[in-house]
Amino acid sequence: MKTWLNGLVSTLLLGACALAHATGYALPDLDGRPQSLDQYRGKWLIVNYWATWCGTCRKELPDLVSLHEKHRDGDIVVVGINFEDIGRQELKDFVATQDIPYPVLRSKPVRSTPLGPVPALPTTYIVNPAGKVVAGEIGLVTQQNLEDYIASQRGK
């Protein structure tokens, strides 16, 4: 039953990806300034929806940090979208304590985003350099999974 349900959720997420684009999607950063995902056009963009209370989100942080650090001058960018109702200073303190070097934006939880649905946390979307959402994953992601997927899609 659980495998079937995971397959159904993944199918729904991938179906939403087929129509989704990052174009025009903007959220406030930790200082309250709007930041558009358009600024990352031309790069592979990993968008990770997460929350401070989410254990799985915390577990995948080292992989996302490592991915960001490895590719910071290359063509892969990680952006975290905090998906909870939390004070800005509390979130800033969490980001500083966890040494998260990539951009973190803020969003109140909503059922659907311009990238697709966020049915559970963490949810991660991969946006290609043209700004099209090409993949999504509910649950834990690893640096290796993300790099392998992007490598398989380069040049397509």
Cβ distance 104 to 78 under 8 Å?
Answer: no
**In 3D, which of 65, 91, 78, 81 has the Cα closest to residue 123?**
81
- How many alpha carbons lie under 13 Å from residue 128 in its C-beta half-sphere? 16
Q: At residue 16, does pLDDT exceed 70?
A: no
Token pair of 29, please?
């950063």
Looking only at the bridges linking them, the beta strands covering 76-83 and 44-50 are parallel
Q: Torsions phi, psi of 57, nearest 5?
A: -60, -45
Structure tokens at 146: 């993300």
Average pLDDT for residues 79-94, to the nearest whole number? 97
Residue 80 carries which side chain, given as an amino acid letter?
A: G
Computed over its alpha carbons, how large is the radius of gyration of the chain?
Answer: 15
Q: Which of 98, 99, 57, 59 is nearest to 81 (CA)?
A: 57
For residue 6, pLDDT over 80 is answered with: no
The mean pLDDT value for 60-76 works out to: 96
Report percent pLDDT > 70 for the chain. Answer: 85
Greater model confidence, 156 or 109: 109
Supply the pLDDT for residue 21.
65
Q: What are the structure tokens assigned to 12, written together?
A: 């729904």
Strand duo 116-117 + 112-113: pairing: antiparallel
Mean pLDDT of 51-62: 98
Q: Which segment of 4-8, 11-15, 31-35 scores lowest on mean pLDDT?
A: 4-8
**Percentage of the chain surpassing pLDDT 90?**
81
